[in-house]
Structure 1
Amino acid sequence: MNSSISTASTSEGRTVLVIGGHGKVALLLAAEMADTDNRLISVIRHAEQSDDVRRAGAEPLVADVTTMSAAELDRLIEGVDAVVWSAGNGGRAGAEQTYAIDRDGCQAVVDAISRSSSRPRFILVSWSGSPDHGVDPAVPFFAYADAKAQADRYTMASSVDWTILGPSSLSLEAAGGITVLPDGHSAHPDTPTSRQAVARVIVAVLAHPKTTSHRFIRFSDGSTPIPEAFA
């Protein structure tokens, strides 16, 4: 891990650590937070991604949470106010790598937060269909769906202060409002959710812990302004 960046909180605002910092949602989150008093540290696996992260408005930190020891993970999250998990293999590199990232890596971070004396909040970006995905084990997408579902269940059973976000099918459209679905309901697979909206929901969740803590929030594009959805 590149240890040249301190993850300690600033006096002006929150220090947020996002894992999966070069992903589309994380880069949009960096842009959303760039003009605030908050500090965003983006964990990336490859140094060549650093310039993209800086241009988006965050501080890059090169580390691979899937290979870090427990002690290294403890140091990674030391002093931060919140950890956002936005990493995901999406099943692209085969089942073994998918489980290593989407399940095992996520669970290791949850364990580190559980051990932390500062107990940062944990925001996990999942997907709307995770709890009841029903994906056929014979299809390649099953590994991703199963890994996400296991990570979600592990998080919800932990002692951390968690929020899980379940957007529907992600798009690159500009954000508008959202529709927050009733508990236990998932969006139709073809219902879109803007990635920019997901980034803005993360910002809103950070700002409204009382109304978002210990919730699995499933949502899609809709008409409710995002700040009002969680106020």
Structure 2
Amino acid sequence: MSANTLIFGGSGKVARQITRMLAAEGHNVYSMIRNAEQKSDIEGIGGKPVVQSIKDSSVDDMAKTIADVGASTVIWSAGAGGKGGLDRTQAVDKDGAIRSMDATAKAGVKRYIIVSAVDVRDKENKPEPEWYNDEDRDRSNKVRSALGFYMECKFAADKSLVTDNGRRGLEYTIVRPGGLSDDPAKGAIEAGKVHLNQVISREDVASVVVECMKQGATKGLAFDCVGGDTPITDVIAKVAKDRIDTFKGRC
């Protein structure tokens, strides 16, 4: 049975994999891109391109697009990735993401999935995850030294998704992958309370997002995922069953 999905940040590597997977399952995948020259690429993987700038779109603009395509699920997979300067990072990773949440609610859509990152948290004021070891602390510090402002923007967006959901009423999931690679998918990961140094392929991250769409019990959760040896379907089912939330108490 087909469903309509809108992906913000459709030109990204994870988003393209999500598009390909969902289209292969018969979904109508609307992919928001800002560069019209990418339309043929999106169409080539089964997506339906929507040319629209996240940075320049208001909440009303986004809500209209969500409604126009008849989306039943909205996926945020956009991000400046720490590139293009601080202004662009804030405009996309924080402000754009928050507007997309408000727009999803305004359009009357419930299901919202955001691709975030491991270790996004209030590091200064909230306790460190109790499962972290010295290697995790070292990686956490190194990432913040290189991408501190990016992590702050991701945190602000994720925090808004959780703490402002009383007024939005979204059925959200926050997928928090570790370091990303372009390696072929393994179809296996570790998820929940994981360590930070293991990378995960972008294709496997896409599979996690698609699995979250299928497993409704992931609604209301934020969980980490890295490369591993447990089949994706099984590990996501366990995260959902055990209600593992790695952002809870850290925002």
Q: Quote the residue 1:89 is aligned against.
A: 80
Distance 1:55 1:29 in 2: 13
Q: Quote the residue 2:235 is aligned against.
A: 229
SS at structure 1 position matched to 2:42:
helix
State the TM-score, normalizing by the size of structure 1. Answer: 0.87
CA separation of 1:85 and 1:116: change in aligned 2, threshold 3 A: same
Distance 1:136 1:200 in 2: 28
Q: CA deviation at 1:123?
A: 0.5
Unaligned segments of structure 2, at least 5 residues: 124-139, 238-251
State the TM-score, normalizing by the size of structure 2. Answer: 0.80
Paired residues of 1:15 and 1:82 also in contact (CA < 8 A): yes
What is the correspondence of 1:68-87 to structure 2 with a 5 Å cutoff? 68-78=57-67, 79-87=70-78
Confirm or deny that 1:112 pairs with 2:97.
Answer: no
Larger helix proportion of the pair: 2
Confirm or deny that 1:47 pairs with 2:36.
Answer: yes
CA separation of 1:137 and 1:42: change in aligned 2, threshold 3 A: closer
Q: Over the residues paired in the alignment, what is the CA RMSD in angstroms? A: 1.9
Confirm or deny that 1:191 pairs with 2:198.
Answer: yes
**Higher alpha-carbon deviation: 133-142 or 56-65:** 133-142
Distance 1:104 1:155 in 2: 12
Aligned length: 214
Unaligned segments of structure 1, at least 5 residues: 1-11
Confirm or deny that 1:167 pairs with 2:177.
Answer: yes
Identity of aligned residues (%): 30
Q: Which residue identity lines up with residue 101 of structure 1 in the other structure?
A: V
Q: Which residue identity lines up with residue 178 of structure 1 in the other structure?
A: I
Q: CA deviation at 1:160?
A: 1.4
Paired residues of 1:136 and 1:142 also in contact (CA < 8 A): no
Paired residues of 1:181 and 1:187 also in contact (CA < 8 A): no
Q: Which residue identity lines up with residue 198 of structure 2 in the other structure?
A: T
Q: Which residue identity lines up with residue 187 of structure 1 in the other structure?
A: H
Match of 1:31 among 20, 23, 26: 20
